[in-house]
Amino acid sequence: MFLDSYSLVPFCLRSSFFLITLAPKKMTFKELSKYLEKLEATSSRIDITKILAELFKKSDADEIKEIVYLILGQLAPKYESVVFNLADRMMIQVLARAYKKEIKEVQRLYREMGDIGSIAGKLSNNRGGNLSVTQVFDSLHEIAKMEGEGSQDQKIEATAKLLSKLDSLSAKFVARIPIGKLRLGFSDITIIDALSWMLTGSKEKSEEIKTIYNSTPDVGALASQIKKSGIKKMINTSPVVGIPVLPMLAQRLKSPAEMVIKMGKVAVEPKLDGLRLLVHYKSGSGGFTKAFTRNLNETSWMFPELDAIDEYINAKEVILDTEAIGLDSKTKKLANFQTTMTRRRKHGIKEKQSVVSIVFYIFDILFKDGENLMIKSYLDRRKALSNIIKKGNVFSVVDSVITDDPKMISKINKEKKSLGFEGIMVKKTDSQYVPGRTGWRWVKMKEAETDHAKLADTIDCIVMGYMMGKGKRAEFGIGKILVGVRDGQKIRTLSKVGTGLTDAVFKEMKNRLDKLKTDEPAKEYEVDKDLRPDVWVNPKLVVEVAADEITKSTKHSLGISLRFPKFIRFRDDKNSSSATSANEMKKLYKLQ
């Protein structure tokens, strides 16, 4: 009989022998840091994708989730809002404790180098050990979860202890995570491309993976599931109550005749100027109500009105697409977006509720009592809505008119605008609920909100940096902002904006942007040398801009620019991924 080496091992030791030989070796953070170093030095999007694919191939299914979160500078999916709340000045204290230096010395290095990570790498002197990725992730997650009295000092002490155990390269990257400055320049979409590349050596599976991601946007968990079972077993894209779905978005058309040609029979609804929210409700023991913005932020704390949701819902579990709109307590009229957003505060919500109450206008339903309604037609979803929602002071289903007559669409648009609405939404009646802005399923017909602008719509732009103020604006420290839009994985410049900002807004803009300041432009920025701002900022702030028209430009990297741009408002409900895209700008250019 043939005897292999395993059969010669005593029976009592075989179990442990099996575990030792087959247990996968965990990746060390030092190994991961070498990949982070490569990624930091790489600007080519395709090369970044290949580096990530190589990293994912070497990761096992039990650690890839943590690896994905860490390379994105996160500790959980965005919708869980696990954050450190540590500023640069606090990280200076961390480094002083970790490496037993005087705070003044670390402050001097900070003035010279301007990067917490580089300082940590310099002070570390490779004295650290060989912690695994999982050990580092668990430590960081535990630190982020610390709260209550004395928690800030506990975070400083625990972060210092962790850094003291790391080699120089690992310390460099770990030190950047608590302050949100990992600065590798890619997003979830690049991770999705890299997962496809890991499987096929190309982006062949990217759209398939993105479809799954749209229904459950947790790219870390997605990577883990793909490593465990591949894509085929994950095709079910039914939403889960409590986990946000990326919302369905509208295209732009201004001709009702073209709408009917492209979409056939349509439903016409009023376009609301509120805060887009996906409301998740689960009744009974262990039940909850959550409200997610387009940014996937959970904001139910803003809306005590939702405490009474069970009075209006004839179902055990639902996911509703809504627009939350303030109602002026004196005039009883719908308030504008800025008034609605005064609810964006941690304290005094009950007091604010008496001044600005909220009405939730429901226009779609995605899920009900175990049934995925996203795959149903618009008409079927509206029918389900009519059976589920009990009308009251807090919830109201928006009006809908079915037609294939362009004249009727124009008539409804005029009627809605005369009533104070922005315009109308036109929806294909046989369309499924498809996250993102794809196809001619939903179209908005809206005019700019200011007499200054002749453009058919406003634009949601990403702030890339600002110019110092001159004359009167010198007192604000800011004169103009440089804005752009996303073009694939790049962010290209569109315009400088300096009008439409009041004194108070200038001050607020400066305060917001100073929290996002960075010494170097983000890797995804493409900016002509003549347009470089005095201060660069990370692409976190989105603002709404109106303009007279779109013109061709040889300076702006998008190839087009705005004539007479004007600031309208901050768009805190959007991030750089949900702002206006380059493709939308090109469509707007054609529309004008």
Domain membership flag for residue 543:
yes
Contacts of 351 (CB under 8 A, 6+ apart): none
Give the C-alpha separation, 259 to 257, whole Å: 5
pLDDT at 82: 86
The size of the chain, in residues, is 592
CATH number at residue 483: 2.40.50.140
Q: Which of 342, 350, 364 is nearest to 272 (CA)?
A: 364
Domain membership flag for residue 108:
no
Helices (H), 216-285: 219-229, 256-263
pLDDT at 454: 61
Which residues of the chain are modeled with pLDDT < 70?
1-24, 128, 233-236, 328-339, 341-355, 446-456
pLDDT at 555: 93
Rounded to two decimals, the pTM is 0.80
Asked if 430 and 533 sit in the same domain, the reply is no
CATH number at residue 261: 3.30.470.30
Active-site residue, 552 included: no
pLDDT at 12: 43
* Cβ neighbours of 214 (radius 10 Å): 19
Asked if 468 and 505 sit in the same domain, the reply is yes
Q: Which of 274, 297, 302 is nearest to 363 (CA)?
A: 274
Domain membership flag for residue 418:
yes
Asked if 436 and 479 sit in the same domain, the reply is no
Domain's final residue, options 446, 471, 501: 446
Asked if 483 and 406 sit in the same domain, the reply is no
Pairing between β-strand 480-487 and β-strand 490-497 as defined by DSSP bridges: antiparallel
Give the count of domains, the chain: 2
Asked if 430 and 470 sit in the same domain, the reply is no
290 is in which domain, residue-wise? 251-324+359-446
Which one from 181, 271, 376, 427 is the annotated catalytic residue? 271
Residue in this structure with the two tokens 């409900």, named with its chain if needed:
573
DSSP states along 313-342: B-SSEEEEEEEEEEEETTT-SBP-HHHHGG
